[in-house]
Each structure stands twice: as C-alpha cells, then as structure tokens.
Amino acid sequence: MAMRKIRFREALREAMEEEMRRDSTVFLMGEEVAEYNGAYKVSQGMLEEFGAKRVIDTPIAELGFAAIGVGAAMSGVRPIVEFMTWNFAVLAFDQIVNHAAKMRAMSAGQLKVPIVFRGGTGAAGQLAQQHSQTFESWMANVPGLKVISVSNPYDAKGLLKSAIRDDDPICFMESEMMYSDIGEVPEEEYLIPIGVADVKREGTDVTITCFNKMVKVALEAAEELAKEGISAEVIDLRTIRPLDEAAIIKSVKKTNRLVSVDESWPYASVSSEIAYRVQKHAFDYLDAPVTRVNSADTSLGYAPTLVDEYMPNPKKIIQAVKAVMYK
C-alpha cells in the first residue's frame, strides 16, 4: 500500500470522516467538536463537510451527552462520543458502565449499543491530580465494554474504524501528548482487527508489554538495552479488552522473562492482569518473576520534578529488565 506521513490527530479525523461518508448513521458529538474544531483539533473541518446534525457541540455535561449517545445507539445509529479527557468522563460512568456495557445482556441480546467513547487518557505534563489519571484498567474491569489504547497514527486510524463498525460499546483511549505525533499511514482504506497485539520490536531475552504512550518509552529503553547486548521484544497490546493473551504467552515462552509497563497505578492495573495470566499459562517458562513498571501509587502532583518521579521512564524499564535478566 502507498504510504504517507500524517499526524495522530489527522489519522483519527480520517477514520471518522471515512466512516461517516460510508455510513450515514455515524455521527460525532462532544464538547467543542464542531465550531471550535475540537479541543485538540481532531475534528477540524468536519462541521463544514457533515453539518451540525452530524457534528454536534454539546454542553459541558458528560453524563447528559453520554446518555444521549447511549440512547441513540440503542435506537440504531452509531455515535462517536468525544470526551475532552477521560478524567471528565468519570461523570458519565453511570451511562458507560451501568447502561452501555450491560444493555445487550439485560435485553437478552435484543439491543445493541454500537457506540465509541473516545478521548485523551493518562498524564499530559503538569496537569496535576484531577487531569492525569489513566483509565484503561478502570474500563477494562467492566464486562460488556471493549477497551482500545493506541500508540501511533497507523494503529489509531485502523482501530478507530474497526471500533466505529463494532456492535459493542468501545472505550477508545488516546493521549493528549501524541496528537501531534507523525507516522506512516496508508493512502488506501484499511482496518485493524480488535483484540490483536502488535510486536513493535522483536527480541529474544525479555518481553516488554506496553500500550499507549508507554510504547515509545519502552522502545527507547529497548534501544538502550540493545547497546548492552540485551535483546528486548516490545509488544504493543493495542487492545486491553479483549486482551491478546496468546501473543503475550508466545513471546514469554520465547524470552522466558516479562516486564509489563503500564502507566496505570500498580494496584489492580492492566499489568497486574498480565502478570496473573503469564504465571497461569507460562509459569514453567519463566526464568525470573514477572516485573511491573507502573506509575507511582499516589496521585500525580503538579511540580515537574514530581511528574518525573511519578511516571514510568526508560531508566526504570532498563532497571526492571536488568533485574529479571540477572536474577
């Protein structure tokens, strides 16, 4: 396929535009998505093409517009609900968790909720405690929801298109720090299947699992480890629920070691689930205990020095890898 380089925000926009041209039941709603072109300019130009009935500015009321989206999805259309940040989506958890996630089961399969909730997650610099939380593990805990967390423009476009076509409610996690990232994306249409991880770097000595912006951090650590003769395999999970357990187990059986990198807090995190599954299915292959690299088990402070101490970084990953290598 012919490739060109575009920004992360442009990849997301292309995914939405293509699906809205393909299917007249798809529409976008959220704070500032229309007149302002999106808080991060993801929806720039979409109002002009699709009009105010399909690109809809909402009040600052996440519970309200999430509820409208869920009801609309139940009636047969395909809403994309943009949260300016998943931190604000906490206000809409009743609709996401108690309604969108459960409606198919409560209706004995008679009702589908084909809706995508998308927006920024995780720390984005000095935004302090109420704007820096990581939500993949929160949402993945809920049966009935699918959770996607992307790390680059190519995956963002292919997985968002698949999410919009899916008949289940999907939480689509982005990073405010990656909207300007540039990457190669095909000119032709393509889809990436939900539930399939991607090996971003092959290796033989240790497996590093990661997702979202931690992929870039893990790859940086892998480059440094290679200079010391340590070959790290970096797996981008891409989908948190359903998790590509087979890809992780296959890699661990090859490398015999696992470091799970996860921006979530350590308690009940995605890395916790991965550690459990690996010890259950590949215990005899492990040459060292599974090690995790998470954010600090505290709320994120404002000071830049606290941000540096709080976040996973290449140095912490390298230390964790060496700990399992020389156990």
Q: Would residue 93 be called left, alpha or beta, if left means φ above 0 and alpha means ψ between -120 and 50 degrees?
A: alpha
Query: Tokens 């927006």 correspond to what residue?
Result: 119
Selecting among 14, 31, 62, 174, the annotated active-site residue is: 62
Encoded amino acid at 120, one letter: G
CA 88, CA 126: separation in Å to the nearest integer? Answer: 17
Selecting among 19, 131, 136, 176, the annotated active-site residue is: 131
CA 179, CA 79: separation in Å to the nearest integer? Answer: 22
The answer to whether 224 is a known catalytic residue is no
Backbone φ and ψ of 28, nearest 5°: -115, 135
The residues with which 80 forms a beta bridge, in sequence order, are 28, 116
The answer to whether 131 is a known catalytic residue is yes
CA 137, CA 273: separation in Å to the nearest integer? Answer: 9
Rounded to 10°, the helix 270-282/245-255 angle is 60
* Residue 324, token pair as written in the block: 């399992």
Q: Which residues are catalytic?
A: 62, 131
